[in-house]
């Protein structure tokens, strides 16, 4: 089938957290007829003021040419998409694009359930924080039938700066997202520990990280998280600590299934768990820098 037209498509969007709301708003701005649903209805109201049709049940958002979903985790996806019977409400010919970061096991189950019902399915997790989503600068990793990806590409391009295709099997996109978040976590942990070391010798995290992110590590990921660490600006959370902990768990589960050792992932899980055990929930996962400082007792040493 030819690619979808760039304007005037009927699309549904399910899951309106900080990321989903920004993504849906860009579809509205691109001229599409967007129907939205969220488990917490209040999150849908701002999109209604932009022109979206707000509905009270997920099945009413599952009608149209394409249905997007951006839910928090495996449990939410299973509850809304599978247990909620949403797939049975979709018409054949509807494309479901799932942006959630989920386990490889659930990704395979979803692909099988869509195929059993004759529904087209694309896994399309994204890289980028809420500010990138608002600016339509997300990196989108898509996997599914090539013809189906091409059908939805104009819609994806309305939300992101580039769409990368990872092949036919949807779980390939999910494992790329999991592996990418593992790398981000490793970058944060390395900056956290290295900053603790420099602080112990009187060099501030801000000074050290400015040198690193303008020379050896002059990349967006390092620069963005370095700024949060240097300023100790962990709220509001661009990527919440519990989500980071969840994603490192997904990496370990995927590695276990494929018998791929990930020793560094185990260390990251422990750092994130240590932060959670200290009562840090509604904070960015760059709070790992605070964990490194506590381990070295830097505050007690007035460093």
Domain count for the chain, please give it: 2
- Answer yes or no: is pLDDT of 5 > 60: no
One domain, residues 99 and 218: no
Which of the pair, 66 or 1, is modelled with greater confidence?
Answer: 66
User: Are 134 and 197 members of one domain?
Assistant: no
Residue 3 pLDDT more than 60? no
pLDDT in tens, 133-192: 999 999 999 999 999 999 999 999 999 999 999 999 999 999 999 999 999 999 999 999
Same domain for 147 and 33, yes or no, is yes
100 and 201, same domain (yes or no): no
Domain boundary among 119, 136, 167: 167
Residue 56 sits in the same domain as residue 129: yes
Contacts of 17 (CB under 8 A, 6+ apart): 43, 70, 72
Catalytic residue annotation: 177
Supply the pLDDT for residue 2.
44
Tell whether 131 and 188 lie within a shared domain.
Answer: no
Residues 52 and 146 in one domain: yes
Asked whether residue 1 carries a pLDDT value surpassing 60, the answer given is no
Q: By residue range, what is the domain housing residue 193?
A: 175-295
**One domain, residues 29 and 162:** yes
pLDDT digits (tens, 9 = 90+) for 100-128: 999 999 999 999 999 999 999 999 999 99
Residue pair 94/65 in contact by the 8 Å Cβ criterion: yes
Tell whether 86 and 205 lie within a shared domain.
no
- Over residues 80-93, the mean pLDDT reads 92
Give domain status of residue 257, yes or no: yes
Phi, psi torsion values for 117, nearest 5 degrees? -100, 0
Sheet holding 120-123, edge to edge: 53-54, 33-37, 10-14, 66-69, 95-98, 120-123
**CATH number of residue 117's parent domain:** 3.40.50.720
> Which two tokens mark 17?
């957290």
Q: Of 126, 142, 167, which residue sits at a domain end?
A: 167
Looking at the fold, whether 229 and 146 belong to one and the same domain comes out as no
Tell me, yes or no, whether 156 and 123 share the same domain. yes
Task: List residues bridging with 240 in a β-sheet.
Answer: 284
Residue 229 lies in a domain: yes
Q: What is the CA radius of gyration of the chain?
A: 20
Q: Of 167, 183, 199, which residue is a domain's last? A: 167
Q: What is the pLDDT of residue 92?
A: 87
Which CATH number is 278's domain given? 1.10.1040.10
Q: Report the candidate in 63, 60, 89, 87 with the shortest Cα–Cα distance to residue 10.
A: 63
What's the mean per-residue pLDDT of the chain? 95
Rounded Cα distance, 150 and 4, in Å: 8
Q: What is the mean pLDDT of residues 67-75?
A: 97
**Measured in Å, how far apart are the chain's first and last C-alpha atoms?**
63
Looking at the domain assignment, is residue 15 inside a domain?
Answer: yes
Inter-residue contact 97 to 110 (CB < 8 Å): no
User: Does residue 144 sit in the same domain as residue 217?
Assistant: no
Quickly state the pLDDT bin for 299 (edges 50, 70, 90).
Answer: confident
* pLDDT tens per residue across span 24-55: 999 999 999 999 999 999 999 999 999 999 99
| Nearest CA-CA partner of 266 in 283, 253, 284 | 253
Give me the helix-helix angle, 241-258 and 104-116, nearest 10°.
80
- Supply the pLDDT for residue 116: 94
**At residue 215, does pLDDT exceed 50?**
yes
């Amino acid at each position: 089938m030819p690619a979808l037209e760039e304007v005037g498509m009927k699309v549904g969007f399910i899951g309106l957290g900080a990321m989903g709301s920004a993504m849906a708003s860009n579809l509205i701005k691109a001229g599409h007829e967007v129907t939205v649903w969220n488990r917490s209805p209040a999150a849908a109201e701002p999109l209604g003021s932009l022109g979206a049709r707000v509905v009270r049940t997920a099945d009413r958002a599952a009608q149209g040419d394409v249905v997007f979903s951006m839910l928090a985790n495996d449990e939410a996806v299973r509850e809304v998409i599978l247990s909620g019977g949403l797939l049975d409400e979709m018409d054949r010919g509807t494309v479901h694009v799932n942006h959630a970061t989920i386990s490889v096991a659930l990704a395979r189950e979803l692909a099988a359930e869509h195929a059993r019902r004759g529904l087209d399915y694309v896994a399309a997790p994204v890289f980028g924080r809420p500010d990138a989503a608002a600016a339509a600068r997300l990196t989108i990793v898509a996997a599914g039938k090539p013809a189906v990806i091409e059908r939805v590409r104009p819609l994806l391009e309305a939300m992101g700066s580039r769409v990368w295709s990872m092949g036919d099997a949807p779980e390939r996109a999910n494992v790329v997202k999991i592996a990418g978040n593992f790398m981000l976590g490793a970058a944060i942990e390395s900056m956290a520990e290295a900053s603790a070391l420099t602080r112990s010798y009187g060099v501030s995290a801000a000074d050290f990280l400015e040198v690193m992110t303008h020379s050896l590590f002059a990349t967006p990921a390092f620069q963005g998280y370095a700024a949060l660490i240097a300023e100790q600006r962990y709220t509001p959370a661009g990527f919440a600590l519990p989500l980071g902990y969840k994603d490192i768990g997904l990496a370990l589960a995927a590695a276990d299934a494929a018998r791929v050792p990930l020793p560094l992932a185990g260390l990251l899980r422990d750092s994130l768990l240590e932060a959670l055990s200290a009562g840090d929930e509604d904070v960015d996962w760059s709070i790992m820098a605070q964990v490194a400082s506590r381990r070295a007792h830097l505050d007690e040493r007035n460093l």
